[in-house]
Amino acid sequence: MDVKPEVGRILNRSLEGHDPSVEDAIVLLGTSGLEANALVLTADELRRRRVGDVVTYVVNRNVNFTNVCIKRCGFCAFSRDYRQEEGYFLPVSEIIRRAREAWDLGATEVCVQAGLPPQMDGDLYIKLCEAMKAELPDMHIHGFSPEEVLYGSVRSRCSIREYLVGLQDAGVGSLPGTSAEILDQEVRDRISPGRITADQWVEVITTAHDLGIPTTSTIMYGHVETDEHKARHIALLRDIQKGTGGFTEFVPLSFVYTEAPMYSRGFVDGVRTGPTGNEVIKLHAVSRLMLNNWIPNLQVSWVKESLRFSQTLLSAGVNDMGGTLINESISTAAGAQYGQLVRPRQFRDLIRDAGRVPAERYTTYDIRHVFDDGEDPVEPLDMVGDDAEERFGSYQRLIKMDSFRFEHPRHAKGAEGE
């Protein structure tokens, strides 16, 4: 049985080094059976040619320092109103304690993202970075989504460029390219009215790149979007990368519907329960084909997909397993069932079992160590006990609306005394 001529043409041209068009990507996203299998094999071959057999991961920690947010996005089950009992805001002393604990456990990166608290001091993010760098000068701060950068600039009454310069001077090393969802304004208006617009997202990202601040790139899919929306989203990221070269990786993020308000409360018509398994595989494979010449690193989100399925996606174009995370709050709040922590040894075991070579990387994909020849040291994070998630995720602090102010750790009570 032969592959359909149209699909075969697209795959062959991809193997010859050509970028699939949006129309080509729509065709590939609609494949099934033999054609879908051929797509996956093509993605795997392009991955091998582009980045080889090394699969990377980073030892990092998430710090989602507040879940209080002025926005009410339909897909977000993490955010709370400041009046709700579940709302929390970690004091700076606790944020730094978490970063230092991660450093002591071998982390090279702390990923800082949160809600958008009302009446926030505009320079909160900047002062937070300054305080973290003062305590941990060698820790990479991967911090603040385009939505947060925009909010900080608005609260500071300055331009996006000026705010990004302030973050850069304070020690931010890279930005997460989250808050992208689907970069189509009609879709955004359905699932998250009032959120950062597609044009504003592009402005923040391209300005960061122009300043020399690298970013990741993402898509969040499986809700109301079509194959055309996904294809155009990836093509837009490709166009940005052609102009700036600032994306370090691309990360597909499956919509987790269980606790998402637009599903659980039914206020968005036609919302789906996330992508099917086949759709996840095809999206990763098509991403490899579309971005292979421009963004070499394709990351799987084990939080969304599970470690087992993430291992399978290593054969569909993926070459990065993401981070250890230590604290993952946002997907977990939405109903993701796959935990908040992966130990480095778990990553290495899964990668080797897939016939690939594990390597620890830094945030910007410089390699820290390749674990070839069966090398398997015991690292500090490997020694954390089974109570890790409870231990790392147990600290919350309820606050009042007028408490969203920077409090330097040297002038605050220690975390244990809060």
3-state helix, strand, coil in the chain (%, to 5): 45, 15, 40
Length of the chain: 418
pTM of the model: 0.90
H-helix segments, 157-299: 160-170, 185-191, 198-210, 227-244, 261-264, 277-291
Percent share of the chain, pLDDT over 90:
70
Q: Of the CATH numbers 3.40.50.300, 2.60.120.10, 3.30.70.260, 3.20.20.70, which one belongs to the domain with range 53-409? A: 3.20.20.70
Confidence of residue 133 (pLDDT cuts 50, 70, 90): very high
Amino acid identity of residue 313, one-letter, is L
Q: Which residues are 219's β-sheet partners?
A: 252
Instruction: Look at residue 385 in the predicted model and tell me its pLDDT.
Output: 66
Instruction: Look at residue 407 in the predicted model and tell me its pLDDT.
Output: 53
Residue 105's SS3 state is: coil
| 87-119 confidence digits (pLDDT tens) | 778 889 999 999 999 999 999 999 998 888 888
Rounded to whole angstroms, how far apart are CA atoms 36 and 184?
A: 26
In the chain, what are the domain boundaries? 53-409
| 228-287 confidence digits (pLDDT tens) | 999 999 999 999 999 999 999 999 999 987 766 665 555 678 888 899 999 999 999 999
| 314-356 confidence digits (pLDDT tens) | 999 999 999 998 864 444 444 444 457 899 999 999 999 999 9
How far CA 242 is from CA of 155, 237, 291, in Å, comes to 32, 9, 10
Mean pLDDT confidence for 156-162: 98
Rounded to whole angstroms, how far apart are CA atoms 186 and 12?
A: 34
Q: Of 190-194, 200-204, 300-304, 412-416, where does mean pLDDT reach its minimum? A: 412-416
Confidence of residue 65 (pLDDT cuts 50, 70, 90): confident
Q: Of 4-18, 58-72, 335-349, where does mean pLDDT reach its minimum? A: 335-349
Percent share of the chain, pLDDT over 70:
82
Q: What are phi and psi of 360, to 5 degrees?
A: -85, 135
Q: Which of the 8 DSSP states describes residue 196? A: P
Mean pLDDT for all residues in the chain: 87
More confidently predicted of 388 and 156? 156
